[in-house]
Chain A
């Protein structure tokens, strides 16, 4: 028996020796990522409106790139406040003034997704105009992007641009780290996910993870043909909206929108629409709901780390960017002042980097202007008009 085990032990040792030698001998070069890139001539089809994500067709990606490239077009990044209201900036400006404004995103479209989208259009950012709608709700429960939203917004085409472009190491690491730690939440992953995850490992301070990354790369190098990324570049013909003569009535329209909304409220004192109140704010016992805000640990908030990355990147690229900090309804949320330190950190970060912002957040009922929100967290027509006034003065000098 001892002799039998001894023979196996010796064989195992020899095997490990051979495997280690093979791994040492195999070249540790970076995988040659791209084949010669293909250039396609395409045309921008959307000059305004709302695009929830890039999933429907290739034209969505082209229109997203075009929106960033087109210096006459303002691109808005946001989440669940983006609806089909006629007062939403991406509908109001194009239809009333002939100004090109394009909204991009829907619920769960947060800082990490926005960072990826911006990094992917790195080479086009020079003349672009960008505004990010930041919701304090993103920071709830430590915040951060959920895996379902990540796979929806972090399209392989965008990651491909990040990998093959001149993206700085720290941004690739940031995305790679997310993919590495969320790998168990994905059922299928494209090559781009594997590359960025491996990139994170190869730069990790743990020697074990570095070794793991090296082993992966050496083995994948044996099958280099399969790990190429197909790169496609677009030559986009931009489109422009004809100008519309516009009589400046922003204040008048704003007031009108506010009064119409408030006059319609009949069943609540929370300044939310009747339908919304009866559907969402009355519990099964007929009692009015309310919500208590929880303290946010800014230093450990994933969302805050993502926010800092976005701000850093915008600053580096000198993008004409701005932020809108959205409000929450203080008639529904209790202890909103617990969010004051977060909002202060956000505004001071933006001020420090000279990024303009419009802070609509208030923590007390006294400071809240009824009509800003249509429900407890989404801006209504009047809120949109306030945003329009800000964007008009910032980007169009009015």
Chain B
């Protein structure tokens, strides 16, 4: 009974950790559209000011 629970928990943890690693380190958009041209964008757009 204990072994069964450990296997079940281990599988859940494995899926969670692997899923987490993939989400953190891989870009799903790149995987689905490897040739898509991605332009870099900045959060803040600096506007040129005289001063």
A binds B: yes
- A residues within 8 Å of B by Cβ? 7-8, 10-12, 14-16, 18-19, 80, 106-108, 146-151, 154, 156, 184-191, 193-194, 215-216, 219-220, 223, 225-228, 230, 280, 289, 291, 375
Nearest to B40 among chain A residues (CB) is: A151
* Apart from A7-B6, A151-B41, 7 more pairs, CB < 8 Å: A12-B9, A80-B48, A106-B48, A185-B43, A187-B42, A219-B26, A375-B50
CB proximity of A20 to chain B, nearest CB, Å: 10
A-contact bits for B19-33, CB 8 A (1 contact / 0 none): 001100111001100
User: Are B46 and A18 touching (Cβ within 8 A)?
Assistant: no
In the complex the two chains form, is B25's CB within 8 Å of A8's CB? no
Shortest A352–chain B CB gap in Å is 33
Q: How far is the CA of A146 from the CA of B12 in the complex (A)?
A: 44
What residue of chain B has the Cβ atom nearest to residue A376's Cβ?
A: B50
Nearest A residue (CB) for B35: A230
Contacts of A7 in B (CB 8 A): 2, 5-6, 9
Question: Nearest-CB distance from A384 to chain B (Å)?
Answer: 19
Closest CB-CB distance, B16 to chain A, in whole Å? 8
Q: A11-B10, A220-B25 are in contact. Are A148 and B40 (CB under 8 A)?
A: no
Q: How far is the CB of A291 from chain B (nearest CB, A)?
A: 7
Contact across chains for A188 and B43 when beta carbons are under 8 A apart: no
A149 proximity list for chain B (CB < 8 A): 46
Residues of A within 8 A of B25 (CB): 215-216, 219-220
Measured in the bound complex, the distance between the Cα atoms of B44 and A146 in whole Å is: 9
- The reply to whether B38 and A191 contact each other, CB–CB distance below 8 Å, is yes
The 9 sampled A-B contact pairs (Cβ below 8 Å) are A18-B10, A19-B21, A106-B48, A151-B39, A215-B21, A215-B25, A220-B26, A225-B34, A226-B34
Across the interface, which residues of B come within 8 angstroms of A188, CB to CB?
Answer: 38-41
Known: A148-B44, A189-B40, A219-B21. A18 touches B51 (CB 8 A): no
Which chain A positions have C-beta within 8 A of B46?
108, 146, 148-149
- A11-B9 in contact given A188-B39, A190-B38 (Cβ < 8 Å): yes
- Residues of chain B within 8 A of A148, CB atoms compared: 42, 44-46
Tell me whether A193 and B40 are in contact (CB under 8 A). yes
CA distance A261 to B33 in the complex (A): 56
Q: How far is the CB of B35 from chain A (nearest CB, A)?
A: 7
Task: Give the A-B pair count, Cβ closer than 8 A.
Answer: 102
Q: Name the distance in Å between A180's Cβ and chain B's nearest Cβ.
A: 14
Let me know if A186 and B31 touch, CB within 8 A. no
Q: Known contacts A7-B2, A219-B26, A223-B26; is A156 also within 8 Å of B39 by CB?
A: yes
Known: A11-B10, A223-B31. A280 touches B51 (CB 8 A): yes
A8 to B40, CA, bound (A): 43
Residues of A close to B5: CB separation below 8 A: 7
Expressed in whole angstroms, the Cα–Cα distance for A65 and B44 within the complex equals: 29
CB pair A187–B30 under 8 Å, yes or no, is: no
Which residue of chain B has its CB nearest to the CB of A10? B6
Set of chain B residues within 8 Å of A15, measured between Cβ atoms: 10, 13-14, 17
Residues of A near B39 (CB, < 8 A) are 151, 156, 188, 190
**Chain A minimum-CB-distance residue to B31:** A226
Please measure, in the bound complex, the distance between the C-alpha atom of A264 and the C-alpha atom of B5, giving whole angstroms: 89
Q: Closest CB-CB distance, A280 to chain B, in whole Å?
A: 5
Complex Cα–Cα for A149 and B45 (A): 8
A289 to chain B: closest CB distance in Å? Answer: 8
How many angstroms from the CA of A12 to the CA of B38 in the assembled complex?
Answer: 38
Interface centre among A107, A188, A230 (most CB of B within 10 A): A188
Q: What is the CB-to-nearest-CB distance from B45 to chain A, in angstroms, rounded to a whole number?
A: 5
The residue that A280 contacts in the complex, of B18, B45, B50, with Cβ under 8 A, is B50
- Complex formed: what's the CA distance from A223 to B45 in Å? 33
- List the A side residues contacting B43 at CB < 8 Å: 147, 184-187
Given contacts A14-B6, A80-B48, is CB(A156)–CB(B30) below 8 Å?
A: no
B8's nearest neighbour on chain A, judged by CB, is A11
A391 to chain B, nearest CB (A): 26
